[in-house]
Chain A
């Protein structure tokens, strides 16, 4: 019955083992190493030099504090966005009037790069945590709203009727039927949100340098410490992969009941 799910890889002609992503990363490092050795310029350290600098970044107190600052802002911005976006998206998906009101507003906001708002927000809220967290929040909100909206719209009418016949109120229908039924779609939105949060986290720190991964990166760049620059890029990349993989683990656990397996390619954005 559920054995069918395990055969997804075979269709594509080759099987994807657990080490395939590892090989890809290794391949990338090899290409980098050879490329850097051939070019032999100061501004492009070899992969080995960059990797050697990673422990220095992670080992120093300053480095760790900056990275944890970044992660904290990202976590707060992302959580706030999830809390606000999911209910809004679900209500929009079930009430046409609410969707008609919010859709045009969101359509205008959607294509604006949220990091571009950073200078204005800094003007109002300063260069501290609040501005950066707010920008992350703004960047993540829209995709989650959109996915929750689409998910709620697609919920089978008869499923909702079944709940109504059990005597559920509209709020109970939303919380106990629409939310779980739309969960696979919502979590797909959250995954996009996670990647966007990471990108915005770095960008915001680049614009408002005070602390964080972006801060270390650009300070090192200013001082010509190119191995540190690339070490930081590796750290940010690794953070992205780890967070994404962890989230996907959680997602699969939560929606194992769903009819189809939703395979989202890693970092498709």
Chain B
């Protein structure tokens, strides 16, 4: 599917494919279900038998209406929530709890308000025993990368929403997780800020191509950023369809907006979502 940039011999091609097949995927979600007990002692099936395999270096979005359990799935991969059934494997190892191999970025930013911007970014590094000087040097580099040079000594309360999320991204990148878990990270931002952060996230991602699991309800955001879009349906949350986004990288927003392929992906996915009858959300 993917256009080859370099001609390769058949033998090379085969051996490479074999290698990919042999290596375990970065994330393997196997038969994961999550059932919550509601206040009325009824059982609410948040997500039901999810199977998903995510390759190393892939940017995968989970897209769905609110209440489809997409964030729950992300929290389960993060190890913050224990699934009712099924298992998660990261690099072939079963997930039993949170760990620095999976770095979360939340819609609520969840910065440490008592720490400065730099203090937030180096918190994880200091935790891991990195000496202060080294951690700070790395912190300065990361803050420059997310466009916050000069804001090192500010406190979170002094920052705008977009800046807070930049700090949160730098804080997570600081301890170098293999997987980024992004839970509607730009959901609380205005349209302009959201666009800028999307562009910057892609730039950052292009540098080292970490595996990203990105939860969103915005179709254009999912198509713009991702290699794969996992469309979920609601009540119970199931995978409706997985769509490969075959658009060239690095992606430029201006070019994409004029690209009929990009437009078609958006229209197709929107149709797919609208297909589902609008159900009442269970309380």
Contacts and interface: CB of A to CB of B under 8 A. Distances in A.
12 contacts: A161-B80, A161-B106, A164-B97, A166-B123, A166-B124, A166-B128, A167-B124, A167-B127, A167-B128, A257-B113, A257-B115, A257-B155
B51 to A, nearest CB: 24
Interface of B: 78-80, 97-100, 102-104, 106, 108, 110-115, 123-124, 127-128, 155-158, 171-172, 175, 177
Interface residues of A, number: 22
A159 B112 contact: yes
B113 A2 contact: no
A51 to B, nearest CB: 44
Contacts of B157: 2, 257-259
Most chain B CB inside 10 Å of its own CB: which residue of A165, A168, A180: A165
Most chain A CB inside 10 Å of its own CB: which residue of B78, B110, B171: B110
**Main secondary structure on A side of the interface with B:** helix
A257 B120 CA distance: 13
A1 B158 contact: yes
Given A2-B158, A161-B110, A257-B155, A166 B175 contact: yes
A152 interface: no
A54 interface: no
Contacts of A257: 113-115, 155-157
**Main secondary structure on B side of the interface with A:** loop
Given A161-B78, A162-B112, A181-B114, 7 more contacts: A165-B103, A166-B124, A166-B128, A167-B127, A180-B114, A183-B114, A258-B157
A151 to B, nearest CB: 13
Given A165-B78, A165-B98, A165-B100, A158 B110 contact: yes
A243 interface: no
Nearest to A258: B113
A1 B159 CA distance: 8
B175 A259 contact: no
B273 to A, nearest CB: 27
Contacts of B171: 162
A70 B174 CA distance: 51
